[in-house]
Structure 1
Amino acid sequence: MEWAKRYPMNVTQQAGQLRRMRGLFDLGQDFAYGVFSRDGSEVLGGTGLHPRVGEGALEIGYWISASHTGRGLATEIAGALTRVAFEVEGVRRVEIHCDPRNVRSAAVARRLGFVHEGTLRQRLVAPDGTLRDTMSWTLLSEEYPASPAAATVTEAFDVLGQKLL
């Protein structure tokens, strides 16, 4: 994960990172979200829709705090963002990328109906400098309606509070 190379950060650096992410969101260029407990008191993870995979496509990225894995949060998050990508943004393709050693992340893609297109060898540089493979999972717009992702219960609202889903 490219963003992981920047951590740990001090408070000033993190504030700058959050400002940058907010600016990209406001410009419609990248969409990062926090994942919080229901009462908002705890950060459980993060997620986003990223346009870095080509025209008419979005990549879903997510991470869940180690103390909150195994509860279905990543599946719920990825399912919700898949719906937003297809039903709100109107993309043709949604991708999920993960390290082959990340069995849980691959299971998320599989559970939502994504197809494993392949594993790209030595594609990413890890924070420790080693080269790592990455799996590419894809769901196409024509496959989406019959996928488990389409059945994800989701509500989405725009900045004015108008319901999108």
Structure 2
Amino acid sequence: MDPWPLRHLVLSTPRLELRPDDDEGLLELAEQARLGVHPPDEMPFAVEWTDTAPEDLGRGVFQHHWRARADIRPADWSVHFLVRSEGRVIGTQGLSAKDFAISGEVSTGSWIGLRHQGRGIGTEMRAAVLLFAFDHLGAVRARSSAWSGNPKSNGVSRKLGYVRDGTRTVVRRGEATEDVRFLVTPDRFVRPDWELGVTGLTACLDLLTG
């Protein structure tokens, strides 16, 4: 038995390849973080990780992903897919769940390097993990949230069929801001006009679905 079957899992879209994080890929991801994820005068994230000092930013990227990877178990998991375009890591797409075997619910979160934005990649990689969750894991609902001042992320949610599911207050850089929660179900999901390629799933099912 493979002790870490996630290393063989691959999701493929017309332009992208998504694989659970590995240390070599995290070096590339840390470089994307160093080059910039958002304009300096904005803070789209609920956790202000991009405000970390440049000399510590890369180490923080590694530590965050290592912690999530080490804690994966059937009752509580977060898989961070490294998103590659033309063989290079350009961002990360997360898929997480708690008590998935009972709830059937997943959540998503993501970021891509600033210089790769504006090309529809954010929509394509979120659609990939939704197809994976609904069609291959049997999820019954998926949630996401984003700062109300983040039109790109909110636009992706609307394109894919999410509906608003309330708001919450998040303190960013010492100020109260609003995050919008979104929910999508298989019947509301706006499917892309392409099919998702999935390999290496069978050995991962016990880990992800219990």
* Equivalent residues of 2:94, 2:109 under 8 A apart: yes
Within the candidate set 191, 195, 198, 1:156 is matched to: 198
Q: Tell me how large the CA RMSD over aligned residues is.
A: 2.8
Give the superposition deviation at 1:92.
Answer: 1.6
CA distance, structure 1, for counterparts of residue 116 and residue 48 of structure 2: 19
What amino acid sits opposite 1:113 in the alignment?
A: G
Q: Which moved more, 1:131-140 or 1:77-86?
A: 131-140
**Of 56, 72, 92, which aligns to 1:46?**
92
Give the TM-score normalised by the residue count of structure 2.
Answer: 0.62
Q: Distance in 2 between matches of 1:56 and 1:161?
A: 19
CA distance in structure 2 between the partners assigned to 1:14 and 1:31 by the alignment: 14
Report percent identity of matched pairs: 22
Give structure 2 stretches of 5+ with no counterpart: 1-44, 205-210
* Residue 68 to residue 12, structure 1, CA distance change in 2 (3 Å): closer
Q: CA, structure 1 residues 39+153, in 2 after alignment: closer, same or farther (shift >3 Å)? A: same
* 1:24 aligned partner, one-letter code: D
Match of 2:137 among 89, 97, 101: 89
Q: 1:4–1:32: structure 2 CA closer, same or farther, 3 Å change rule? A: farther
- 1: CA distance, partners of 2:141 / 2:97: 11
Which position in structure 2 is the counterpart of 1:24? 71
Which residue of structure 1 aligns with residue 151 of structure 2?
103
1:57–1:94 Cα contact (<8 Å) kept: yes
What secondary structure, in the 3-state scheme, does the structure 2 residue paired with 1:50 have?
strand
Shift in Å, 1:3: 4.5
Change (3 A) 1:137 1:13: closer
Find the aligned partners of 2:63 and 2:142 in 1 and give their Cα distance: 29
Question: Could you tell me how far 1:76 is from its partner in structure 2?
Answer: 0.3
Letter in 2 for 1:20: R
Q: 2:127 aligns with which of 79, 85, 109?
A: 79
**Aligned residue in 2 for 1:133:** 178
Residues 160 and 83 of structure 1, relative CA distance in 2, 3 Å threshold: closer
Higher relative CO (Cα under 8 Å, sequence separation at least 6) belongs to 2
Q: Which amino acid aligns with 1:157?
A: T
Q: CA 1:67–1:150 in 2, change beyond 3 Å: closer, same or farther? A: closer
What amino acid does structure 2 have at the position aligned with 1:95?
A: R
Q: CA deviation at 1:64?
A: 1.6
Q: 1:5 aligns with which of 42, 49, 59?
A: 49
